[in-house]
Structure 1
Amino acid sequence: MEEEYDVIVLGTGLTECVLSGLLSVEGKKVLHMDRNDYYGGESASLNLTQLYRKFRDGSEPPSHLGRDRDYSIDLIPKFMMANEELVKVLTHTDVTRYLEFKQIEGSYVYRDGRVAKVPANEMEAVTSSLIGLFEKRRLKKFLEFIQKWSDSDPSTHQGIDLDRMQMADVFKKFGLEAGTQDLVGHAMALYPNDNYLYRPARETYERIVLYVSSVARYGKSPYIYPLYGLGELPQGFARLSAIYGGTYMLDKPVDEILYDDEGKFKGVRSGEEKAYAKQVIGDPSYFPEKVKTVGRVIRAICLLKHPIPNTSDVNSVQLIIPQNQIGRKHDIYVACVSATHNVCAKGYYLAIVSTVVETDIPEKEIVPGLQLLGPIDEKYVSVSNINVPVDDGTKDQVFISKSYDASSHFVSIYDDICDMYKRITGSELVLKRRPRQDEEQATSAGQ
């Protein structure tokens, strides 16, 4: 440890590992530490023993659940959209060579007391059981408008200015009912609340395009998920960092953050050892005095012995309960994967229900989601703070990531990565494709 680095990274959550990998590729000398003995931090995937250590005070897992190694349970479940920016980061950095993805079989939404598939295109809108005959036509016209829109061709605009009009006005122009707006805004554009209605429509347009194009890529649903759980993602970026000279230390406590006379970061102390750097990146747990709590998230990890009812018995599903359907301010998310994703024993399904806490009885708030699961074999509940940095880090060179939100997708995480990258380096994140391993080998063989 007794060395000088360009950057020290604390915690191996996904945000920290992506930044560590990107900075290492750019030639920065990186030291990456984590107080845990496993990768992933708050976004780790745990085996049964680790799960029972965290949620059951270390008691023995029941034998009927099967073997320890059959489980890789996400603490914070999130699905990736096939065409989203984080997938492009994986591809450009060649981290995909460490990962294998499987498609999520269904994208569903809760409306008017029942569960139904989210229509992914104009044809599905016409056949959807979610909406009445006349509303189907209106939704079809709206989706056709989205698909045909071209910035350079005013004839596709239908008098709409995406940059000046609010989304609420666009919905009004197409005459979409409140329930259909919920469907589009929450199950396709994936907004966690209704604030988007009063923002420029372009943001929602881009999110819907991402959803529809991601569905078109693989069919069935827009989502993909790594085998063996999300904990594989930070490990993939950790390997990338190590290839480029990054130093990793797990099970390494951080006893003190060191600052110079001007209050700027200068290093960290672990026991008697010290390491020095100009900048530090870390998750909120390493800097409790530099973050503020802006909310709380409740998550219930549930083991089931059956697929989620009313989802055509698919082995994996994203199910969203829009806030307005149950009189809340935030959506409830249900993410379900199964033994086919190598995250639980054969015959089991893993469903995780999450939402932003709004009352003093958090567990009562996720009941609408739990009720959709059918009989639950085991349940592990946690409530965690949503912490954000108080400052942007440019003054003291301490760059802190945001806690993970309640949503079951990666949109907000990628935004945080880009924002932090710009503050750390002073420039925008521009992805340059790395040569793949086989290309590098071919090049070196030819020399």
Structure 2
Amino acid sequence: MQEYDIIVLGTGLKECVLSGLMSLSGKKVLHIDKNPYYGGESASISPLEELYRRFKVHGPPKSMGRGKEWNVDLVPKFFLATGELVKILLHTEVTRYMDFKVVEGSYVYKTGKLHKVPATEEDAQTSDLMGMFDKRRFRKLLNFVLNFEAQNPRTHQDVDPEKTTTRELFSRFDLGQDVIEFTGHAIALHSSESYLDQPCLDTINRIKLYCESLSRHNFSPYLYPLYGQGELPQGFARLSAEYGGAFLMNRTIDEIVMENGKVKAVKSEGKEFHCKQLICDPSYVPNRVRKIGRVVRAICLLNHPVKNTHDASSCQIILPQSQLNRKSDIYISVVSYSHSVASDGLYIATVSTTAETVTPEKEVQPGLELLEPILQKFVTVNHLLVPNEDGRKSQVRIHQNIKGLEEVSSSWLCLNSLFQSDICFPLVRRDRPL
């Protein structure tokens, strides 16, 4: 019988981040994955032939280049340069296992056209997203946000961040509807209009984080790892192994053993591993999660940059829901050969959104039209799952696979939700603070 403080099932990004941090903090961790590869739903598929086999599509053609040059994310994500994940990467020095590149730009869809989200003062002055007077009002809002400190009432300008709604905040600065739309969706990265009637503190923090990340690299606030997002879970897996974490790959899970309503052990291929706590992705405990929606993703292979993006080799494109008469936004992430994820001259664009109808593939059509011509398309529709209970009593912690804004970096704004309650252990690595 083998005893562990924590057993982690799955090697998705969230599981590997937690595994790495807990091993680093002195916990005895065992990581088990039913797959022969790292990453789970955060994996980068390589070679390209494996992606075609996965979707039961014949190919790829020789024009796609060498298959081993491809690393295709199943669920692509960009992240903000000064966000929580970057802080964890730097603090744990996982950055030594990988390299990153700044995403070249961010675009927002308005009245049938793509517009660059202003990244510099010059961009703001020439942007056709705002009129002359709106630019002045927008600048005043940014000055307020950048000077805002939650713990210093003097910076609040009579705004109660816990009671004043975002709609009231925008009204206070007399912002027009066009400015509100691109501020809320392309800068604060909200996926629907519900944020407008919520307390404004969250939106203030989101705008501030975006601006701070933008100032770090000037032309874009986003980062993306070379060789694909799959490098991230692998990096944290290496961290876990470095600090004593054990890994068992390509192993079936026979049973999760409970005693008096609390997790006791995990049985895998005839062996029993005891633990005090279990963390897993939803696929390992289907009886402990419920479906709350669906997300549709279309992975598109291109031989050209997206039109009207200044031939960017990477970019983010947001199609706000109000422009399409929808309840939620559509997101497009574009990466390419410049990130070592595709053969020379080729691109990967992923269109995704929360499904609202019985024909989800049709819902991403506005995004697909921006990408034409498309060499090959792979479409998936996945369920959004949440745990039935918080796991405090059973010590079975299941991460939520809620999409949020997964194709844009605000997904990383929610990273702290992974560390709720007592599953977060204090960081003890190194002497330097974050």
Q: TM-score normalised to the size of structure 2?
A: 0.94
> What is the SS of the residue equivalent to 2:371?
coil
Aligned 8 A contact 1:89 1:431 in 2: no
2:350 equivalent to 1:352: yes
Q: How many residues align?
A: 430
* C-alpha separation in 1, matches of 2:238 and 2:359: 41
Shift of 1:145: 2.4
Aligned 8 A contact 2:70 2:342 in 1: yes
Q: Identify if the C-alpha distance between structure 1 residues 149 and 271 changes in structure 2 by more than 3 Å, giving closer, same or farther.
A: closer
Aligned 8 A contact 2:25 2:425 in 1: no
Aligned 8 A contact 1:80 1:409 in 2: yes
Q: Identify if the C-alpha distance between structure 1 residues 430 and 214 changes in structure 2 by more than 3 Å, giving closer, same or farther.
A: farther
Shift of 1:431: 4.5
Shift of 1:263: 2.3
Pairing of 1:8-407 with structure 2 (within 5 A): 8-47=7-46, 48-56=48-56, 59-120=58-119, 124-150=123-149, 156-260=155-259, 262-405=260-403, 407=405
> What is the SS of the residue equivalent to 1:301?
strand
* C-alpha separation in 2, matches of 1:430 and 1:320: 36
* C-alpha separation in 2, matches of 1:8 and 1:429: 15
Deviations 1:324-375 (A, max 9, x none): 1111100100000000100111110110000000000101100111111121
Q: Identify if the C-alpha distance between structure 1 residues 143 and 422 changes in structure 2 by more than 3 Å, giving closer, same or farther.
A: closer
Residue number in structure 2 paired with 1:445: none
Aligned 8 A contact 2:108 2:115 in 1: yes
Aligned 8 A contact 1:339 1:347 in 2: yes
Shift of 1:429: 5.8
Deviations 1:108-138 (A, max 9, x none): 1111221111123555333212122222222
* C-alpha separation in 1, matches of 2:323 and 2:425: 38
* C-alpha separation in 1, matches of 2:348 and 2:124: 29
* C-alpha separation in 1, matches of 2:138 and 2:419: 39
Shift of 1:45: 0.3
Deviations 1:71-129 (A, max 9, x none): 10000010010000011011111101001000000011111221111123555333212
> What is the SS of the residue equivalent to 1:130?
coil
Shift of 1:275: 1.2
Aligned 8 A contact 2:45 2:74 in 1: yes
Aligned 8 A contact 1:404 1:413 in 2: no
Deviations 1:221-272 (A, max 9, x none): 1000000000000000000000111111111111221112x12111112222
Q: Identify if the C-alpha distance between structure 1 residues 431 and 115 changes in structure 2 by more than 3 Å, giving closer, same or farther.
A: farther
Note the aligned Cα RMSD (angstroms).
1.9
* C-alpha separation in 2, matches of 1:349 and 1:169: 42
Shift of 1:140: 2.2
Fraction of identical pairs, as percent = 50
Shift of 1:161: 2.6
Aligned 8 A contact 1:15 1:413 in 2: no
Residue number in structure 1 paired with 2:430: 434
Q: TM-score normalised to the size of structure 1?
A: 0.92
Aligned 8 A contact 1:123 1:140 in 2: no
Deviations 1:162-183 (A, max 9, x none): 2321100011111112221110
Of 401-410 and 333-342, deviating more is 401-410
Aligned 8 A contact 1:122 1:144 in 2: no
Aligned 8 A contact 1:66 1:345 in 2: yes
* C-alpha separation in 2, matches of 1:433 and 1:225: 25
Q: Identify if the C-alpha distance between structure 1 residues 159 and 122 changes in structure 2 by more than 3 Å, giving closer, same or farther.
A: farther
The unaligned stretches of length 5 or more in structure 2 are: none
